[in-house]
Chains A and B, each alone.
Chain A
Amino acid sequence: MELKEVVHESIVKIFPESINQEEVLRHLSNLLLEEDYVKESFSRGVLKREREFPTGLELERIHVAIPHTEVEHVKEAAIAVGIVKQGTTFANMQNPLKSVKVHVVFMLALEKSESHMEILGKLMDMIQDDKILEKLIESNTASEVIQVIRNT
């Protein structure tokens, strides 16, 4: 399964203004719910998990977050993408006391299956490319974000 198969314009959002983490998480969960990729319980699961086990990843320059929750809240595989122009604070996955200023949020609605884990692997490979992250944060529309991901 390819990344482009699980990221759709309908679940991509550009956040141009300064915004807090919880708002980003709620917004992206709502998009996933509206498009029927997740159950109603998904949003609560994501917020709870982020509080207990944060998902901020500190990379070389542009940092990301990969919020997700238990697979039982997922109906169909999808990855919602939030481009936070001003950056928003997430706690660091490895050291929750440290914060990370995140510009790209990948909200994962994935199940435990092999093909879904394959997609996650491809996402992890993609985020290691600073140039791709750069293109993502420069995107101003959902369509541009999809193009960047399609071209990886």
Chain B
Amino acid sequence: MKRVAVCCGTGAATSTIAMSKLKAYIQENGLKVHLTQSRIPDITNRQSDFDFIVSTIAVPPSIKIKTLNALPLLTNMGKDKFFAEFEAALKE
């Protein structure tokens, strides 16, 4: 099962929205994935714990693993494309 980190800058606001939208999607579609809510500063040193990151903020160069832009989960713009990329990343 893939491990995905759901992040933002402070770990409270936008990542919570992203988490709840992702959880709903995962349940609706019966996907198997382990989500962890976090902040970018905290996971920089534990990137190997995750398969990829979903982030509402731009990730710094210190983040080397695959990152998906989670803003569509906040703004609803480009949501379908996001979920398509998310499912593709789960299959990798």
Residues of A within 8 A of B (CB): 49, 52-53, 57, 59-60, 66, 68-71, 92-96, 108, 110-112, 117, 120-121, 124, 127-128
Contacts and interface: CB of A to CB of B under 8 A. Distances in A.
Given A93-B71, A124-B75, A110 B13 contact: yes
A38 to B, nearest CB: 14
A49 B9 contact: yes
A59 B75 contact: yes
Interface of B: 8-10, 12-14, 16-17, 20, 40, 56-58, 69, 71, 74-77
Contacts of A112: 12, 16
B9 A120 contact: no
Given A93-B57, A93-B58, A121-B20, A127 B13 contact: no
Contacts, number: 59
Contacts of B57: 53, 93-94
B72 to A, nearest CB: 10
A94 B13 contact: no
A96 B16 contact: no
A60 B77 contact: yes
Given A60-B77, A94-B58, 15 more contacts: A49-B10, A53-B9, A53-B57, A59-B77, A69-B10, A71-B12, A92-B58, A94-B69, A108-B13, A117-B16, A120-B13, A120-B16, A121-B17, A124-B17, A127-B75
Nearest to A117: B16
Nearest to B70: A94
Contact of A70 (B10, B16, B20): B10
The A interface is mostly helix, strand or loop, or mixed, namely loop
Contacts of A70: 10, 12
A118 to B, nearest CB: 9
Most buried by B among A49, A108, A120: A120
Contacts of B20: 117, 121
A45 to B, nearest CB: 9
